[in-house]
């Protein structure tokens, strides 16, 4: 049997292929442009970006396998003593639609290895602008189904972890409506890998039905403006708090691939506050932790 890291890399590469194929079919107009790149120090990847499609204003799906000597500052953050080599592989994606009634979404699934530590991490979350509760419920239920195949404690644990992780702490609000997030899963690696595979394979089923349901919803300048304000919140989280962004920058990753997650357009209005009683104010209530499935 091949090494776990090789099987993980093969799965993540295939997952990128399948997700890109599914998103192109969903968009029906644009195609992904692929950049193959090499990392100084070891490894590389392929970045795929779709822009100005019928659905997606900007969509990026990355795959990478990087390795080499661990930067000292990053090693300290991971509680690693001394110099050590590392190996990391994974798939990550961020999808920014034109229509504010279709949510932005993010997913990431990864494997990390040093000479004495191995773990998996990942997750998926949804960032609506004008939320429909039924859409959020569908997204969470699909992820819960993938979790429950392996451990019925996974979803509540990883949902809570996601709520906490994707909080913009300087604003005391989540960037969206959550999903699941997990990291440092290192027990029973073979079973954990099966879980990661099921979680990754569930992504299209969690998201594409929402796109199909909302793709013909009407919107105007007001809705577009609120979308750009909320995208600004997305940028704040990714540049200030996101571990993947920090990891990429500190391991001298490819800048264009690291910042692929940022939207094509965003906006910051000084001291923005939604009008009392407006649909924008109603939307803000969806950006706080809550029980979407009635199980907590």
Ordered mean pLDDT values, 10 residues apiece, the chain (296 residues): 87 98 98 93 93 98 92 70 84 98 98 92 98 98 98 98 97 97 95 98 98 98 98 96 84 83 96 96 96 91
What total of structural domains would you count in the chain? 1
Q: Looking at 96, 98, 106, 140, which residue is catalytic?
A: 106
The verdict on residue 294 lying in a domain is no
The verdict on residue 109 lying in a domain is yes
User: Is residue 138 among the annotated active site residues?
Assistant: no
- For 165, other C-beta atoms within 10 Å of its C-beta total 20
What is the extent of the structural domain holding 144? 4-287
Q: At what angle do helices 189-201 and 133-148 cross, to 10 degrees?
A: 150
The verdict on residue 36 lying in a domain is yes
Please give the span between the terminal C-alpha atoms of the chain, in angstroms, as a whole number.
41
What are the backbone angles phi and psi of residue 174, rounded to the nearest 5°?
Answer: -75, 155
- For 240, other C-beta atoms within 10 Å of its C-beta total 12
Q: Which residues contact 3 (CB under 8 A, 6 or more apart)?
A: none
CB of 20 within 8 A of CB of 61?
A: yes
The verdict on residue 293 lying in a domain is no
The verdict on residue 248 lying in a domain is yes
The verdict on residue 203 lying in a domain is yes
What is the model's pLDDT at position 196?
98
The verdict on residue 292 lying in a domain is no
What is the model's pLDDT at position 1?
42
What is the model's pLDDT at position 243?
85
CATH code assigned at 14: 3.40.1500.10
Q: Which two tokens stand for residue 10?
A: 């093969």
pTM, two decimal places: 0.94
H or E segment and range at residue 183: strand 179-185
Cα separation, 74 vs 168, whole angstroms? 22
C-alpha distances out from residue 154 to 21, 182, 183, 185, Å: 29, 9, 12, 11
The verdict on residue 28 lying in a domain is yes
Question: Degrees (nearest 5) of the Cα angle 224, 226, 227?
Answer: 60
CB of 12 within 8 A of CB of 107?
A: no
What is the model's pLDDT at position 81?
64
What is the model's pLDDT at position 70?
80
């Amino acid at each position: 049997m091949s090494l776990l890291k090789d099987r993980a890399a093969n799965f993540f590469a295939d997952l990128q292929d399948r997700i890109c194929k599914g998103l192109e079919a969903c968009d029906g107009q644009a195609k992904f442009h692929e950049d193959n790149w090499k990392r100084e120090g070891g490894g590389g990847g392929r970045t795929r970006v779709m822009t100005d499609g019928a659905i997606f204003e900007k969509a990026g799906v990355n795959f990478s396998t990087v390795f080499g000597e661990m930067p000292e500052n990053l090693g300290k953050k991971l509680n690693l003593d001394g110099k050590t080599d590392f190996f990391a592989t994974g798939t990550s994606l961020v999808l920014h639609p034109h229509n504010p009634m279709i949510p932005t979404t993010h997913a990431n699934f990864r494997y990390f290895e040093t000479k004495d530590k191995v773990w998996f991490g990942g997750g998926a979350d949804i960032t609506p602008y004008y939320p429909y509760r039924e859409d959020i419920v569908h997204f969470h239920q699909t992820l819960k189904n993938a979790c429950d195949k392996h451990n019925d404690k996974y979803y509540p644990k990883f949902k809570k972890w996601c709520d906490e992780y994707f909080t913009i702490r300087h604003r005391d609000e989540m960037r969206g409506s959550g999903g699941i997030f997990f990291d440092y899963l290192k027990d029973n690696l073979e079973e954990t890998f099966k879980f990661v595979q099921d979680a990754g394979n569930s992504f299209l089923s969690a998201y594409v039905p929402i796109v199909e349901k909302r793709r013909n919803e009407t919107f105007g300048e007001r809705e577009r403006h609120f979308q750009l304000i909320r995208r600004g919140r997305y940028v704040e989280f990714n540049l200030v708090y996101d571990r993947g962004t920090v990891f990429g920058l500190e391991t001298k990753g490819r800048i264009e691939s690291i910042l692929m997650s940022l939207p094509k357009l965003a906006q910051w209005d000084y001291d923005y506050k939604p009008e009392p009683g407006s649909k924008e104010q109603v939307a803000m209530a969806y950006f706080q932790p809550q029980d979407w499935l009635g199980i907590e």
